[in-house]
Structure 1
Amino acid sequence: MASKRFVSIGECMIEMSGGDDRLYRLGFAGDTLNTAWYARALLPADWSVDYVTALGDDLYSAQMREFIGKAGIGTAHIQEIKAKRPGLYMIHQADGDRHFTYWRGQSAAKLLADDAEALDAALDAADIVYFSGITMAILAPRARGRLMKAIVKARNGGARVVFDTNIRPVLWTSPEIMQAVLTSAASISDIVLPTHSDEAPFFGDRDITATAERYLGLGVEEVIVKDGSNPALVATAELREHVSAGSGLAVVDATGAGDSFNSGYLSARIAGASPVEAAQRAHAVAGVVIGHKGALVAPELLDRA
């Protein structure tokens, strides 16, 4: 039997964390890579997981590619862009919370959709295509169109398309453009995984149900609205059900919680779970992740989920 393919599209960045005495630890992370990481940990062995992005021709791009490959994630469709570099961000603690400073000007990932043929090859025979609002935000307008065209082609070929809106207003030139692009991306997706608290200020959703109804109205089959530590809402044409996370969870670091939730949900659905059962599994996976530092926890820790 041929291997099934989970393809995640987006940007991986250099992460500099720590900062005590101005000493930082170098790592690699990014929303769509985080989801690919947890998908690889949770999906059965007959599934391959591939990451689609663009990197530069520098030392850190090479290290990033090696890191991704060692995690069991396919790198064959990572493009190399001459004279470009990965994006970088630094994390610092202030007022009891994590704050991020980004450098993306020379990020090769901004060009990941410039080659239409490479995109088509990357998505060929995909069973799941996963992308996010950040994927769309970093691209130029025409590149967004090329990416959406390639995703629609893959969907017409039988792929299920999954979209996490992952709203980051600072990446967009205006709220209006952000709203239009996110709505267009959701409209070509089968499953959408938004976060209510991110959506409400820009789309005017009065509650979590309004967020779900807005995406269902676009023709999306499954909408799972995350809401931090509050219950998630699972919504389909026939179903509206709130699914609570476990009680008493210790939050060490919430980085990557939503990304791991998404992988928990998708891996459970692939295994035959109902949407509600999959949301319960997603909460359990995210509950493990928030109990450890960093966006990427060791796969063996997920055995506790």
Structure 2
Amino acid sequence: MARRLLSIGECMVELMQADGGLMRKSFAGDTFNTAYYARLFLPTDWSVDYFSAVGTDTISYEMLAFMEGHGIGTGDIARIEGRAPGLYMIHLNNGERNFSYWRSVSAAKLLARDPHRLRHAIEAADVVVFSGITLAILPFEDVDTLLAELRRAKASGKLVAFDPNIRPRLWDSAERMRATISDGARAATLVMPSFDDEAAHFGDASITETITRYRALGVADVVVKDGANGATLAFGEAKFNVPSATVEQIIDTTSAGDSFNGGFLARYVLTADAASSASFAAELAASVIQHHGALVPRDKLPA
């Protein structure tokens, strides 16, 4: 029987460095990146769909064609007149990245405006993916709408995966950011945070503190990503570390965590083996950061 992964969030126009001082255009965004990598490694009896909103302009239709060309369904993406996709530019310094953003009229900010469309899409999915960025871009009332539907999905037994992906510049206050991230975790069955974010913004002194805090919010399973230190997993009563993979040269760390998430989910939903899924995801992320841009072609990735 066909199964379905639904990823919810914002895809943006991506401008990245190219040869000769030029910029190369692509499309990316945290939950879309996760969907892209999941699609690469899931079998054909799984569909991968994106839930978002775009405009009715030329670049919006280019984005939809790009998604469809990479096997990601766009039937749950709303078209909103007068809106357009956001845009970001990657700036690199020895492989580490920072970004400039232009997203004031981003259509994705209205992705949860229609609660019936949202409920229908989530009910049709087996796995649902969202992030702290998904929550950060939405109006207050739409955050409540989205989280209510995700709690319904969790209660019905779906795998609801949440990456807190903490970006302070997207929030109007640190207090609301922490509160909303915590609410997002309460709606999830699997949380996949990055330890540096959790230490910086929640004050966690150790990975054990991060796991304990999310478990106290009702999260069943936790995968804490910690860069070169690998990932620490807490699944059921088991807690264990999976080492990072060898990286010859870091070119661009964009999408390191997103690709890990997509690789992990693609393996985990097939095998239910968290350790081997994390090992595969670590190999995938290590390969991704040795190339430019968020989305690396399949032929440059692990077999």
So what's the TM-score if we normalise by structure 1?
A: 0.95
* CA distance 1:266–1:93, shift in 2 (3 Å): closer
| Deviates further, 47-56 or 246-255 | 246-255
Aligned to 1:283: 282
State the partner residue of 1:50.
Answer: 49
Other-structure match for 1:166? 165
Q: Distance in 1 between matches of 2:220 and 2:155?
A: 16
Contact 1:113 1:146 survives alignment (8 Å): yes
Do the aligned residues in 2 keep the contact of 1:125 with 1:154 (CA within 8 Å)? no
Q: How big is the shift at 1:137?
A: 0.3
CA distance in 2, matches of 1:183, 1:136: 11
Amino acid at match of 1:282: A
Match in the other structure for 2:69 = 70
- Structure 1 residues 217-252: Cα deviation after superposition (integer angstroms, max 9, x where no partner): 212111000011112110134011111112354322
The 1-side partners of 2:95 and 2:288 are apart by: 19
Q: In the alignment, which residue of structure 2 is the partner of 1:111?
A: 110
Counterpart residue identity of residue 295, structure 1: A
Gaps of at least 5 residues in structure 2 are: none
Report if aligned partners of 1:216, 1:236 keep a CA contact under 8 Å in 2.
no
**Could you tell me how far apart the structure 2 residues matched to 1:107 and 1:25 are?**
21
Q: Which runs of 5+ in 1 are unaligned?
A: none
Following the alignment from structure 2 to structure 1, what is the Cα–Cα distance between the partners of residues 269 and 95?
Answer: 38
Q: Deviating runs (4+, > 6 A) in structure 1?
A: none
Aligned-residue offset at 1:159: 1.8
Larger displacement relative to structure 2 (123-132 or 11-20): 11-20
Q: Is the 8 A contact 2:13 2:87 kept in 1?
A: yes
Residue identity in the other structure for 1:74? G
Q: How many residues align?
A: 303
Greater Cα offset, 65-74 or 264-273: 264-273
What value does the CA root-mean-square deviation take over the aligned residues?
A: 1.6
Q: 25-34 vs 96-105, which deviates more?
A: 96-105
Cα offsets for 1:17-42 (capped at 9, x unmatched): 22776632211100000000001001
Q: Which amino acid aligns with 1:270?
A: V
1:254 and 2:256 equivalent? no
**1:12 and 2:11 correspond:** yes
Aligned-residue identity in percent: 47
Match runs of 1:131-150 below 5 Å: 131-150=130-149
* Structure 1 position 82, deviation (Å): 0.5
| Letter of the 2:126 counterpart | D
- Residues 96 and 127 from structure 1, CA distance in 2 versus in 1: closer, same or farther, beyond 3 angstroms? closer
Q: In structure 1, what residue type is equivalent to 2:193?
A: P
Q: Secondary structure at the match of 1:82?
A: coil
**Map of 1:235-250 to 2, 5 A cutoff?**
235-250=234-249
1:80-95 correspondence runs (5 A)? 80-94=79-93
Which protein has greater RCO, CA pairs closer than 8 Å, 6+ apart?
2
Q: Which moved more, 1:274-283 or 1:139-148?
A: 274-283
Deviations 1:170-192 (A, max 9, x none): 00011100000000110111100
Cα distance in 2 for partners of 1:169, 1:272 equals 35
Corresponding position of 1:178? 177
TM-score normalised by L of structure 2: 0.95
